[in-house]
């Protein structure tokens, strides 16, 4: 009888516990890729990685570098004369004809949507002056971005050079950099593009090869596919949901579409953006010299799990006021300090603190921002600011 009573008690307890929401376990997504990573775009925080620093061949995701260099060249409106060398490039093609003239912008669309290797060579010769000149630019940009384990030897990713490789992490860095460019985002996220044919009355029509973008995943915002016999399937893709933007990379993945969906869903399910510091004037400072006179120029937002929210703390460090030298607002240093943002013991951000002057006023709050501040104050919620 006592055993039966105990069992009933345990079952009732289990039932009532199930009524309350619990945090989802941070179980890593299962992926087919030999190397994989998913990061949050703005902060660069890595949500999941699998051999993400291992050097591998990357195939046509190389063309992300080719595209951003073309866009940054300032030559997108120029006409490119296609060379015999470009026309004869093997592999996936736009079927360009030697001697034809085509707008550089059209070539970049063909490069990203249809993965045209002939387009890659035409772009490289026009932007870099030669293939060698463009490859030099590619490696220079990789160094600038911080791609420490990458070497580029061609603009398309074909297996014609041994020293052409990268890592999932480095390709995520490259994509994070490229996604800051509005034109790149537009091209990467285009599903279908029409390019006027210089020799015919009809247009060339290119449909994006990225199945995530064209219907497989509703949160997809763009990316680049790749394949060679040696690299196998490679894929870079981007996705956005509820204001959070993610970047996923897989190298040598037999099930790359599913890999990317799994990684994106993992990120969206387990992480949320938290506004740690808000743009505008700081309040509740101990020093009367600074009270209501210093500000942040923009918000600081960071992705965290539900369990991590209570681990965030901020440390404001301001210069000691020197009233003997700071006689006018122009004498006050710029900035007057900084705020360190911690997640546990790790520094995840650093924001400058500015003193408000006539020449450097604090950002004005909109009516919506003021309403939000009053609303959250009423609820007893306080952001640092």
Q: Which residues are annotated as a binding site for substrate?
A: 224
Q: 92, 115, 150, 220: which is the annotated catalytic residue?
A: 115
- For residue 335, cis peptide bond before it (omega within 30 degrees of 0): yes
Task: Report the distance separating Cα 12 and Cα 307, nearest Å.
Answer: 27
Chain-centroid distance of CA 160 in Å reads 29
DSSP classification of residue 213 = I
Task: Report the distance separating Cα 101 and Cα 373, nearest Å.
Answer: 57
**254 is a catalytic site residue:** no
Torsion 375-379-380-385 (CA) sign: negative
Q: 35, 50, 63, 293: which is the annotated catalytic residue?
A: 63
Burial 218-236 (b: 16+ CB within 10 A, else e): ebbbbbbbbbbeebbbbbb
For residue 323, report the phi and psi dihedrals to the nearest 5 degrees. Answer: -70, -15
Q: Is 359 helix (H, G, I), strand (E, B) or coil?
A: coil
**115 is a catalytic site residue:** yes
For residue 156, report the phi and psi dihedrals to the nearest 5 degrees. Answer: -125, -25
Task: Report the distance separating Cα 329 and Cα 126, nearest Å.
Answer: 51
How many helices (H) and strands (E) in the chain? Answer: 10, 16
Residue numbers in the known binding site are: 224
**292 is a catalytic site residue:** no
Q: Is 361 exposed, middle or buried (0-12, 13-18, 19+ CB in 10 A)?
A: exposed
Task: Report the distance separating Cα 164 and Cα 158, nearest Å.
Answer: 9
- Which residues does the annotation mark as catalytic? 60, 63, 115
């Amino acid at each position: 009888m006592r055993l039966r009573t105990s069992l009933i008690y345990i079952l009732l307890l289990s039932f009532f516990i199930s009524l309350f929401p619990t945090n989802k376990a941070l179980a890593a997504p299962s992926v087919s890729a030999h190397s994989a990573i998913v990061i949050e775009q703005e902060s660069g925080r890595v949500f999941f990685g699998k051999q993400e620093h291992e050097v591998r061949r990357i195939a046509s995701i190389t063309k992300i570098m080719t595209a951003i260099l073309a866009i940054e060249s300032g030559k997108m409106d120029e006409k490119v004369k296609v060379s015999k060398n470009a026309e004869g490039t093997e592999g996936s093609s736009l079927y360009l004809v030697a001697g034809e003239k085509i707008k550089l912008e059209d070539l970049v669309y063909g490069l990203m949507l249809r993965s045209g290797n002939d387009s890659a060579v035409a772009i490289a010769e026009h932007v870099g002056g030669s293939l060698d000149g463009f490859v030099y630019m590619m490696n220079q940009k990789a160094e600038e971005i911080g791609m420490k384990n990458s070497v580029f030897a061609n603009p398309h990713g074909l297996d014609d050079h041994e020293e052409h490789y990268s890592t999932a992490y480095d390709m995520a860095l490259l994509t994070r950099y490229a996604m800051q460019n509005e034109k790149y985002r537009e091209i990467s996220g285009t599903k279908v593009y029409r390019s006027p044919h210089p020799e015919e009355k009809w247009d060339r029509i290119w449909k994006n090869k990225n199945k995530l973008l064209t219907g497989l995943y509703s949160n997809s915002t763009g990316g680049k596919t790749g394949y060679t016999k040696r690299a196998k399937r490679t894929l870079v893709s981007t996705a956005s949901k509820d204001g959070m933007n993610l970047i996923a990379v897989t190298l040598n993945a037999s099930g790359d579409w599913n890999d990317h969906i799994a990684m994106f869903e993992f990120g969206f399910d387990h992480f949320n953006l938290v506004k740690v510091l808000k743009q505008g004037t700081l309040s509740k400072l101990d020093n009367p010299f600074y009270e209501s006179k210093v500000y942040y120029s923009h918000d600081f937002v960071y992705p965290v799990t539900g369990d991590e929210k209570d681990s965030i703390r901020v440390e404001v460090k301001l210069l000691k006021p020197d009233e003997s030298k700071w006689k006018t607002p122009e004498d006050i240093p710029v900035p007057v300090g900084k705020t360190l943002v911690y997640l546990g013991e790790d520094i995840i951000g650093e924001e400058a603190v500015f003193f408000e002057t006539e020449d450097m006023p604090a950002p004005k709050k909109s009516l919506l921002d003021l309403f939000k501040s009053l609303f959250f104050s009423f609820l007893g919620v306080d952001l640092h600011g």
